Structure 1
Amino acid sequence: MASATTFYDFKPKDKKGVEKPMSEYKGKVVLVVNTASKCGFTPQYAGLEKLYKDVTAKYPDDFAIIGFPWHFGSQEPGGDDEIQNFCQVNYGVTFPIMGKTDVNGSTADPLFEWMKAEQPGLLGMKRVKWNFEKFLIGRDGKVKGRWASLTKPESIEKNILDEINKPKE
């Protein structure tokens, strides 16, 4: 998707393998997170769910979190149904978890290629370093921030609220 200019131009696959147009999130602030079930950062699912519930309680139509499971370092071995079950049973996740997605390499999903190019990481690094890296998408569909795995979800709530409270165009 060389012609893609915003988050809304992409259609990654959902948990059933069906293309999900990101244009469904147009006008919302979206936190995109690459996730894994067997990672040292997996407990961040709890923080993400709390953040999702807290922000959507105040701004029900203005915010979304989307998880993209990634089998990096053998940390997401299950199939899509197993992943969904794990997230719901262990962390009560209510935000969407997409299908297993490659975020680096020759098979990386175009959405992640675009986000990494728009907001490189530390020292200009364009690859995703580890699971639970986070990208914040503004209402305009542009990448507004990127945080490493060590960054806890609750620590970026202010960034999310600042983006939600920007005047709508």
Structure 2
Amino acid sequence: MKRTGYRGISFQEAERVVANQHYERMERRRFQDGLQARSIFGSGLYLISDAVLAAQYAFCHAEAEGGGQAAVLKQEIVLDRPLVINCRYSETQLRQDALDWKYKGRQLPNVRPEHVHAWLGRTTKEYALAHSFDGIVYHLDDSLIYYVAYFQEKQVSGIDLEFVFTMNGV
């Protein structure tokens, strides 16, 4: 499955990513005012099908780095065997399947509340990889799709600047 995905980041980071054709940072990140981007499906490269929404992520990344410019990158993503989340198979069902797979018949570990999202993400990724999925395609609705690539090096290519914008008042 070949798709176009977008990612919003600071302009400074975007310059390095385009030059190296490789992302330095995965999704998990803390922003100002306590906001967080969480890797709900484990570590990987998170992309989105909508460039305008990616610009909102870019704003957060640029603001967190204290820069005045943000960028949206466009790239091709190829997933050979993605796990598809949609109205027939939900994110909740995936998490339940992952927990059942890993902890069937055993007690769940005691995870501190601030680490629950990371633990669930790791467990979900382990489940996906153990079942030969190479990423996730998450249909939030008919027009918005998230893509998670677990093997960036072989799944993402043609990273290029889609647009750059200046943030006023930052």
Q: Same fold (TM over 0.5)?
A: no
Greater relative contact order: 1 or 2 (C-alpha under 8 angstroms, separation 6 or more)? Answer: 2
TM-score if structure 2 supplies the norm length? Answer: 0.27
Which structure has the greater CA radius of gyration?
Answer: 2
Give the structure-1-normalised TM-score.
0.27
